Amino acid sequence: MAVRKIVVLGSTGSIGTQTLDIIERLGPERASVVGLVAWRDSELLKEQARRWGLPSERVVSVEREGSEAMTRLAVLDEADTVVMAVAGAAGLAATLAACKAGKRVCIATKEVLVAAGELVTQAAHEGGAVLLPIDSEHSALFQCLAGYDYSQIDKLHITASGGPFRTWDKERIANATVEEALNHPTWRMGGKITIDSATLMNKGLEIIEACWLYGVGEEKVEVVVHPQSIIHSFVELRDGALLAQLGLPDMRLPIQIALLHPEKVDTGIPRLSPTQMRDLTFEAPDHERFPAITLARQAFRAGGTAPAILNAANEAAVGAFLEGKLRFGQLATVVADALGSISATEADTLEKITSADASARRFVREHF
């Protein structure tokens, strides 16, 4: 196998730091870092740059240099692989550029496909890029579908832990604090994705993501709550066969799969033993207590820029909640109001998508 030459967009976040750990463990005969992008010019970014011996032009702080610099590294001639781990839709332009340049694009940022799924998949097709998911659920689907034509899919079942409020009543959920919402029962992630896990908006976004990755309608994607987070998703094929990928909740496995596929190398992480699987439970999500999944389906069915509006309104609302400006119970209401108030247009250009994104963020600022 050729040595992967990797640019990590979002190198100081949870996925980014784990990606660098994996690259270091793989060693220089399998992978090397040729570019780093982080949102802020932090001490961690400087330390990463020193560790990988990168010159200043290969290390970008978006806060200091702007998003154009991120796009510049995403199409770096030396790089064959780009890891998209920038939170939210901020990395959309860089992702499109990497796709057009024919890179292996490892996507940990589900918002990119939610906001611009058609543009991204079209750019990947035209540029000869390979899109590989890092999300544990979509990595599971990808593994289960290996060797099958996607036309054989009958259903995709995305699992959800249920978040910290799975057993709470509606009134208690509505008044949950930031600290309570950030206390995820099985995963340790960044703030935005952790809040999305608490509202189950992450599952709504994953439904849309699955539609673009696997070419299915949203009616073929279901969510099942599985609190133990051992089964990461199921594929139900046309003949009724139900395939699943199992493992301990650890993002290092899906990251390494995306980086190296189809090569298999020991990750060095704890492995799941069959004797650990004695008490696996499953239940349907409660859409009354957690309406985000329904909102995501509505946005996808509406089409055009509606998913971009959904995503941007949610990002802005989550940010406001983390700053103490919104109650937890207002998050879904804010997104629903944005979808109902902002007219969706065709999503055939990046400019239209970014305009819809800006409108949704402005709506949240002005009304809440």
Q: What is the pLDDT of residues 42-91, one digit of tens each?
A: 999 999 999 999 999 999 999 888 889 999 999 999 999 999 999 777 89
Contact 131, 105 (CB under 8 A): yes
Spatial CA neighbour of 202 closest among 85, 45, 324, 314: 314
Query: How far is 316 from 5, CA to CA, in rounded Å?
Result: 34
Question: Taking 80 as the threshold, does the pLDDT of residue 187 lie above it?
Answer: no
Neighbour tally for 64: CB within 10 Å? 10
pLDDT confidence bin for 287, thresholds 50/70/90: very high
Question: Taking 90 as the threshold, does the pLDDT of residue 300 lie above it?
Answer: yes
For residue 106, give both structure tokens: 């490892």
Spatial CA neighbour of 361 closest among 327, 299, 305, 319: 319
pLDDT confidence bin for 239, thresholds 50/70/90: very high
Given this model, what pLDDT does residue 308 score? Answer: 97
Beta-strand ranges (E) seen in 81-187 are 81-84, 104-107, 130-133, 153-160
pLDDT confidence bin for 277, thresholds 50/70/90: confident
Residue written as token pair 């983390």: 322
Of 89-93, 182-186, 241-245, which has the strongest mean pLDDT? 241-245
Residue 260 exposed, middle or buried by CB count within 10 Å (0-12, 13-18, 19+): buried
DSSP 73-91: HHT-TT-SEEEE--SGGGG
Chain length of the chain: 368
pLDDT confidence bin for 190, thresholds 50/70/90: confident
The mean pLDDT of 277-281, rounded to a whole number, is 90
pLDDT confidence bin for 131, thresholds 50/70/90: very high
